[in-house]
A = this chain, B = another copy of it.
Amino acid sequence: MKRVGIKDVAAAAGVSATTVSHILNAVEGKRINPDTRQLVLEAAERLGYLPNNLARGLRLSRSYTVGFLSDEIATTPHAGQIIKGAQEAAAERGLLLLMLNTGNDRELERKEIDLLLQHRVDGILYASMYHRMVEVPEQLRSVPTVLLDARSDDPAFPSVVPDEEQGGRTATRELLAHGHRRIGFVTNSDDIPATSGRLAGYRGALAEAGIGFDAALVSADRSDAQGGYRAAHRLLDTAQRPTALFCFNDRMAMGAYRAAAELGLAIPGDLSVIGFDNQELISENLFPALSTVALPHYEMGVRAIAQLQAVIDAPEPAGGPRSQEVLHCPLVSRDSVAPPPRL
C-alpha cells in the first residue's frame, strides 16, 4: 500500500516534480500557466496526495512539530484545558504537539528533551501543572522554549502565567460588593506564587475598600478539603466570626462547606463562600454551586503557542528579555455568595 508521492502527481499531470512543488506550495515569483496549475491540483486531489512531512522537514529543517513537556500531566484535571488550548492554537499554525511528561525526574527529563531534539521539534513548551518557579534545563537554550504556568529567574525565557494577585482581588471584591466587611481567608502555607499572590490580592481589595487587614481572619492549613475544613472551623468558631470566606482553592472550599454545615450555617444565607481554580468537578457539584475564580488554562495554552511562534519566527531579537505574559483570572459566579445576614 504505497503512498502517493509528488512524482506520482507529476506523472499523472504530465509535468515535473519541480512544477508540482511550485504549484502546491504557491511559491512566489514563479510563473505558472493557469491550465497547468489546474491540471496539477486536480491530479493531486484525485490521487489523494499528502506531502511526506519527514522528507519536507528534512529539506527545510523544520518538523512542524512542538514538544509539550510537562512535569506531571496526571495530578490535575486542569491539564486538559492547557493541552487543549495549546493543541488547538498549534493546529491553526499547522503544528502538532509531541507530548511528554517527566514526573519531576530530572534524569528522565534530560532524556526526553534529547528525544524531542532528535525529532527536531521546532520549539518546546515547558509546562508546569501548577504555577511555580522552575529551573530550566540547559539543553533548552538551544531550542525555542516557552514556560507555561511557570517562570524562571532567567529572563531569556518567555513565560505565560495566571495573574494570581488579580484573581485574589477579584474574589475578595466579589464578597465586598455583596456587602461583606469581615472576610476570612482560608489559605495554605506553601511558598508558591499562588499563595502569596492571592493573599496580596485579598489585602489589596480590602485596602481599596478601606478595611484594615486583620491577621486573625487568615487561617492557613493543607490545601485540600481536610485542611479547608480545619481552617474554616478555626475562623468560624470565633466570637466575631466572618460573614464570608475566601478560600485558596475549590478543594478547601469543599471543606469549608462541611464546617459550615456542622455549625448549622447555611450557604449563602449565613455564610458566603468563594473559591479559586474553578475545578468544575467540585464547584459545579457542590450544593449550592460554588462561586469561584477561574484559572485561564485554555487561554494559557493558546498564548504559550503564540509566544513560541514569535520566538521561532524571530530567534534572537538582541538577546533582550522576552515577554513575560500574565493572564487575567475571571470570576465565575454561581450560588455561594449573597449579602451578609442582617444582624
> Which residues of A does B touch, CB under 8 Å?
1, 50-55, 57-58, 63-65, 68, 73-77, 79-81, 83-84, 87, 91, 94, 96-101, 112, 114-120, 142, 224-226, 229, 251, 254-255, 258, 261, 279, 281-282, 284-287, 298
State how many angstroms separate the Cβ of A270 from the closest Cβ of chain B: 17
Q: What B residues does A68 contact at CB under 8 A? A: 99
Docked complex Cα distance between A116 and B87 (Å): 13
- CB <8 Å contact, A120 and B52: yes
Q: What B residues does A87 contact at CB under 8 A? A: 73, 99-101
CB-nearest residue of chain B to A139: B48
- CB <8 Å contact, B118 and A53: yes
- CB <8 Å contact, B83 and A73: yes
Interface centre among A51, A74, A229 (most CB of B within 10 A): A74
Docked complex Cα distance between A53 and B294 (Å): 40
Q: What B residues does A279 contact at CB under 8 A? A: 281
Select A53's contact among B64, B76, B120, beta carbons within 8 Å: B120
- CB <8 Å contact, B77 and A281: yes
Given A96-B119, A100-B96, A225-B285: A54 and B50 interface contact (C-beta under 8 Å):
no
Q: What B residues does A81 contact at CB under 8 A? A: 74
CB-nearest residue of chain B to A141: B1
Select A282's contact among B54, B119, B282, beta carbons within 8 Å: B282
Q: What B residues does A51 contact at CB under 8 A? A: 118
Docked complex Cα distance between A79 and B76 (Å): 10
Docked complex Cα distance between A74 and B282 (Å): 15
CB-nearest residue of chain B to A250: B281
CB-nearest residue of chain B to A79: B80
Nearest 8 pairs between A and B by C-beta?
Answer: A77-B77, A225-B285, A74-B80, A54-B57, A54-B58, A53-B119, A53-B118, A74-B84
State how many angstroms separate the Cβ of A48 from the closest Cβ of chain B: 9
Docked complex Cα distance between A226 and B285 (Å): 7
Q: What B residues does A53 contact at CB under 8 A? A: 118-120
Interface centre among A52, A94, A112 (most CB of B within 10 A): A52
Given A79-B80, A97-B99, A120-B52: A142 and B1 interface contact (C-beta under 8 Å):
yes
Docked complex Cα distance between A73 and B234 (Å): 39
- CB <8 Å contact, A91 and B120: no
- CB <8 Å contact, A50 and B117: yes
- CB <8 Å contact, B58 and A119: no
Docked complex Cα distance between A65 and B118 (Å): 12
Docked complex Cα distance between A141 and B282 (Å): 40
Interface centre among A91, A119, A285 (most CB of B within 10 A): A285
A-B contact pairs, 15 of them (CB 8 A): A1-B142, A50-B114, A51-B118, A54-B54, A54-B58, A65-B119, A68-B99, A74-B298, A77-B77, A96-B116, A97-B98, A226-B285, A255-B285, A281-B281, A281-B282
Q: What B residues does A80 contact at CB under 8 A? A: 73-77, 79-80
Docked complex Cα distance between A111 and B255 (Å): 45
- CB <8 Å contact, A52 and B224: no
Select A285's contact among B64, B101, B224, B298, beta carbons within 8 Å: B224
Given A54-B120, A77-B77, A84-B74: A112 and B91 interface contact (C-beta under 8 Å):
yes
